[in-house]
Amino acid sequence: MSFYKNGNFVDLCRGPHVANTKDVGVFKLLRVAGAYWRGNEKNPQMQRLYGVAFATQAELDQHLERLEQAKLRDHRRLGKELDIYTVSPLVGAGLPLFTPRGTILRDIFAQYSNQLRQNYGFEKVWTPHITKTNLYETSGHWAKFGDELFLVTSQETDDKMALKPMNCPHHTQIYASKPRSYRDLPVRYLETTTDYRDEKTGELGGLNRVRSLTQDDSHVFCRSDQIGAEINNLLASARELYGSIKMPLRVRLSYRDDSDGYLGDKALWASAQAQLKAAVMTNEIEYFEQDGEAAFYGPKIDFMATDAIGREHQVATIQLDFVQPGRFGLEYTDNEGNAQVPVMIHCALLGSIERFMSVLIEHTAGWFPFWSAPEQVRVLTINDTVLDYVSDIRTVLGGLVLMKPVKYNELRYTVDDRNESLGKKIREATNFKIPVQIIVGPQDRDAREVSIRSQTGEEKIALDELAQYLTSL
Ligand SMILES: [Zn+2]
């Protein structure tokens, strides 16, 4: 905070300030707006000028280019143009509805995130969307987040119920459903499910902030000596996931400081923080450390992903938890027969899938990687004389199951054999940002070839090689 002073005029302003306008550097005015002196319409009207300034022209140009790019990539605009999601005043603010295309996109990323963790022994669980509020009183969430809960009333019982705002307390109850020995640990649960939070309606817009948020959530219950190995698995999964969409990652290691606000044994904190750091270094992920940024119940790793126009987004989190297992009385029997409390590790790789989708749309500008595109291939006919040949092409496409990076996905393709000009068909396919367009004309038919049109250019491929071409993308 600083003050700007000019004659007897003093203004409170965040700054920074320069002594003279000649020190501003290069600047550009972005817009003007009318304003009344002191916000009162009876006072004289003034012009308010909005602009940006940088030390060099190159920095200014870069900033303006980025603003332009951000506008073109706005996920609210592209979400509509590419038919990914919609909103309805009848359903409500912050409750986006996903179309068939958007749902494919959501599902395939959730499937990928699950498969990555299933490689490391995570098992799927399922929990209901409503629960007694007692659960959150025990977990401690009620005291902290009570006003964010959607409440539900039963017409049968007096139970106070709520829509779940998170899944951790539920997963503790699955862990608690039977006795555990040190040999059973780690226990790893995975659930992609929607949570509900009563965000203020003024803060809702697009997919960034929603009241129904889907998490690719997971919880590990482990011994304190297993923390490092578990973190290692999660880091490797996150690195692979964000690598697949070409988003570089860096992480923040959030530690405790010396204040008293933290719960849990100090030695456990020290050991856990050392294990987090070691795992990050083993995975060669860029990191920085911050004391005092941990949650009161444990240290964490926050992932920041950089998008195609250089903006950084907070995505996944790995959160250690020394408190919740104790609140729920979770135990395991150690090798000497004594009861011990497990450590809990919370992790969602995508974070909120809705928010992830907004980042993905803006990062790719709607050109989703081939494997994740809702419609991967569209066949465009030049005229009706090729329809028999198109059925040969259908036979190839219909039999394709893709295995990389997500396993067991049938190729998603359509055929546009309408009686329209090829130019119009190409325009429509390109507007939908379909990664592979297969153009079929009489010459292609006679040569048993197809013409492939993609972002990298055009090429001819023999029909016999089409399957191999598509599986290698
Ligand atoms: Zn959790």
How confident is the model over 242-264, as pLDDT tens digits?
999 999 999 999 999 998 888 88
Tokens 């009385």 -> residue = 329
CA of 217 to the centre of ligand 1 (A): 7
Confidence of residue 11 (pLDDT cuts 50, 70, 90): confident
b/e per residue 212-234 (b: at least 16 CB within 10 A): bbbbbbbbbbbbbebbbebbbbb
> Mean pLDDT over residues 2-26, rounded?
81
End-to-end Cα spacing for the chain: 52
Higher pLDDT, residue 11 or 207: 207
| pLDDT at 112 (0 to 100) | 97
Is 97 a residue whose pLDDT tops 80? yes
Is 469 a residue whose pLDDT tops 90? yes
Reading the block at residue 367, the tokens are: 């050109």
Closest CA to 244 of 364, 412, 103: 364
Active site residue ranges: 168, 197, 215, 217, 219, 300, 346
Give the span between the Cα atoms of 1 and 242, in whole angstroms.
37
CATH code for the part of the protein at 375-471: 3.40.50.800
| Per-residue pLDDT tens over the stretch 403-425 | 999 999 999 999 999 999 999 99
Asked, as a colleague might, if the bond just before 44 is cis with ω within 30 of 0, I would say: no
CA of 283 to the centre of ligand 1 (A): 23
Report the chain's mean pLDDT, rounded to a whole number. Answer: 93
* Least confident range of 140-149, 213-222, 333-342, 379-388: 140-149
Query: What is the SS3 assignment for 406?
Result: coil
| Per-residue pLDDT tens over the stretch 139-188 | 888 887 778 899 998 888 888 899 999 999 999 999 999 999 999 999 99
> Mean pLDDT over residues 52-59, rounded?
91
CATH code for the part of the protein at 79-129+164-364: 3.30.930.10
> Mean pLDDT over residues 282-293, rounded?
93
| Per-residue pLDDT tens over the stretch 349-407 | 999 999 999 999 999 999 999 999 999 999 999 999 999 999 999 999 998 999 999 99
b/e per residue 70-80 (b: at least 16 CB within 10 A): eeebbbbebbe
Residues 6+ apart with CB under 8 A from 264: 297, 298, 322, 323
Domain boundaries for CATH 3.30.930.10 within the chain: 79-129+164-364
| pLDDT at 36 (0 to 100) | 87
CA of 346 to the centre of ligand 1 (A): 4
Give the span between the Cα atoms of 30 and 323, in whole angstroms.
50
Query: Rounded to two decimals, what is the model's pTM?
Result: 0.89
Query: Could you count the other beta carbons within 10 Å of the beta carbon of residue 151?
Result: 12
Query: Could you count the other beta carbons within 10 Å of the beta carbon of residue 105?
Result: 24
CA of 446 to the centre of ligand 1 (A): 59
